[in-house]
Chain A
Amino acid sequence: KAGVTQTPRYLIKTRGQQVTLSCSPISGHRSVSWYQQTPGQGLQFLFEYFSETQRNKGNFPGRFSGRQFSNSRSEMNVSTLELGDSALYLCASSLGARADEQFFGPGTRLTVL
């Protein structure tokens, strides 16, 4: 069974631009969660989508948004990029129940210049 895939793996943008990251979950998984990892803050939860609906949201500004498609693939968008948005963005998929194990993708490394 293929794992969680994320594209692109690396991205360089400049301040003020916007970016869209993509995540394909494991086949059959309906829940997709997004996390931001930075050296200072560690891994922080952004949001979770289940059956095309945002089910949970972390404490991030509205510049961070996402969506999920009917095939469970998810995209995350960050608008008006700031230097502090430079981070590793991780996507995780699971079957959808709370105690289900989350399987993480390799992440997208975003650098904002």
Chain B
Amino acid sequence: DQQVKQNSPSLSVQEGRISILNCDYTNSMFDYFLWYKKYPAEGPTFLISISSIKDKNEDGRFTVFLNKSAKHLSLHIVPSQPGDSAVYFCAASALYSGGGADGLTFGKGTHLIIQP
């Protein structure tokens, strides 16, 4: 059962426009969400995160929105640049009753292609 879903395997956006990447989750215990970016032959790099007590977090060109009732989050990139072309992973974390850190549950990724 896939707990974190990224339903668009790929997305093509024109340079300068807004890129919107979507992510849905099913586990109501998730309370911390992250976006990672991955280039080929490299490990994922952290982009931005959001706690479930917030509905928006912004960092430069990147904004993450969280809709807890819909169990949906999105990453907005404005304006999109050629260097943004990469695979973007949505990830979620849950604090179980036992406490302590938990591994991240990742979506399968969306390949963002920025067209010049």
A interface residues (Cβ-Cβ under 8 A, vs B): 4, 31, 33, 35, 41-48, 50, 55-56, 58, 90, 92, 94, 96-107
Contact = CB atoms under 8 A, between A and B. Distances in A.
5 contacts: A45-B105, A90-B43, A94-B101, A104-B45, A106-B42
B81 to A, nearest CB: 22
B38 to A, nearest CB: 8
A43 B42 contact: no
Contact of B101 (A35, A41, A98, A107): A98
A97 B41 CA distance: 28
Interface residues on B, range: 20 to 34
Given A45-B103, A98-B93, 7 more contacts: A33-B103, A48-B102, A98-B32, A98-B101, A99-B93, A104-B43, A106-B43
A101 B46 contact: yes
Given A96-B101, A97-B101, A44 B46 contact: no
A92 B91 CA distance: 14
B104 interface: yes
Given A56-B102, A96-B101, A98-B32, A90 B44 contact: yes
Interface string B48-72: 0101000000000000000000000
Nearest to B51: A99
Contacts of A107: 43
Contacts of A31: 101
B102 A98 contact: yes
- Listed from nearest, the 10 A-B pairs whose CB atoms lie closest are A104-B43, A45-B103, A42-B108, A43-B106, A98-B101, A101-B46, A104-B44, A105-B43, A106-B43, A55-B100
Nearest to B89: A43
A47 B102 CA distance: 9
